[in-house]
Amino acid sequence: MYYAKVIVNPMSRGGATGKTWPIINKLLGTTGLPFDYEFISAPGQGIELSRQAVEKGYNLVIAVGGDGTVNEVANGLMDEHGKGRATLGVIAAGTQNDIARMLGIPRDYLRACQLFRQFEKVSIDIGAVEYTLRNEVRSRYYINTAGIGFVSDVIEGSIPHTRLKVIGGSVPYAIGVIPKVLDYHNKDLLICIDGEKRQERDFSVVVNNGRYLGGGRTFPNATPYDGLLDVAVIGNLSKLEALLNFPLFFTGTYSDPQKIKFQKARSIIVDSPQRLPIQIDGEIVGRTPAVFRIIPSALEVAALILQTQVKSQRETTHGTA
């Protein structure tokens, strides 16, 4: 028997979630799921509300919002050992909704709410990041994406305005950030991937657990069931190369191994002479140096992905690793 706490970010999608919450509330009420809800009123509050829900005995915590909201709620569910203490539910109410897509959760509110009549519970891998914030080492978990470089700089430069959230879909997302390429400078990075070190100048480093970034299927072969992170090191691109190829990277169609190197890994360390911003699930959390690692099967989620599909994906990825 599930008793759910629903955590709502009314400011998601420019405040649209707050306006649609009464509809979502009624739809959830038709499922027979016992629940109550709370609103997030400040950045980061979703973590504490989620943590309090677990401490009060809720065994299902549902995030209503975008990827940043889902990230906060998931972080509140994790214990000190990196394991989830309750099941995570998601009702996609953001702009990109990459996490919902990776879990097979529909954008349509009616279908998403109906999931909670009867749902599959699956365990997914979780990414973890150590970083610096105000000269202190902090840590945070992420579900889908993290990175350093161009995307992080764009997100940081957009705060507190659009944060790229007014742009929907992979191609509009990429086109929307293209003008920022002209003002961007590649970064000097020290990268260590599973113990292999190299020093180079790069456009960006993306460290994903799922397939999506900015609405695009950037990592077509990524899966949150293989115990590995998917890493893309985007090399020392000229501005012309970035303008021509960056949209292709977002759609997963860019394949020049001389410019973008893809690989799977269990841990990645990134440092720089500069203190570069780090994004996780579309939000800036801190600065380099950063250590990324994977925690296999760390969090249970309510998803539309069937257990047989998960088993098949795990067998396929482990067989080709």
Does a structural domain hold residue 155?
A: yes
Does a structural domain hold residue 286?
A: yes
Boundaries of domain holding 278: 127-295
Domain CATH number, residue 211: 2.60.200.40
CA–CA gap between residue 295 and residue 181 (Å, rounded):
34
* Rounded average pLDDT over 102-111: 89
* Distances 37 to 14, 255, 292 between C-alpha atoms, Å: 20, 45, 33
Domain shared by 224 and 96, yes or no:
no
Q: What is the pLDDT of residues 229-258, one digit of tens each?
A: 999 999 999 988 888 877 777 677 776 778
pLDDT given for residue 9 in this prediction: 97
User: Is pLDDT of 96 > 90?
Assistant: no
Q: What is the pLDDT of residues 23-62, one digit of tens each?
A: 999 999 999 999 999 999 999 999 999 999 999 999 999 9
User: Is pLDDT of 161 > 60?
Assistant: no
Does a structural domain hold residue 300?
A: no
Does a structural domain hold residue 19?
A: yes
Domain shared by 104 and 243, yes or no:
no
* Distances 251 to 39, 176, 215, 269 between C-alpha atoms, Å: 34, 14, 8, 26
User: Is pLDDT of 216 > 70?
Assistant: yes
pLDDT given for residue 162 in this prediction: 44
User: Is pLDDT of 167 > 50?
Assistant: no
Task: Name the percent of the chain lying above pLDDT 70.
Answer: 87
User: Is pLDDT of 7 > 50?
Assistant: yes
pLDDT given for residue 52 in this prediction: 98
Domain CATH number, residue 77: 3.40.50.10330
pLDDT given for residue 160 in this prediction: 42
Does a structural domain hold residue 250?
A: yes
CA–CA gap between residue 99 and residue 73 (Å, rounded):
12
User: Is pLDDT of 199 > 60?
Assistant: yes
Does a structural domain hold residue 318?
A: no
Q: Average model confidence (pLDDT) for the chain?
A: 87
Name residue, tokens 């699930």.
281
Number of independent structural domains in the chain: 2
User: Is pLDDT of 302 > 70?
Assistant: yes
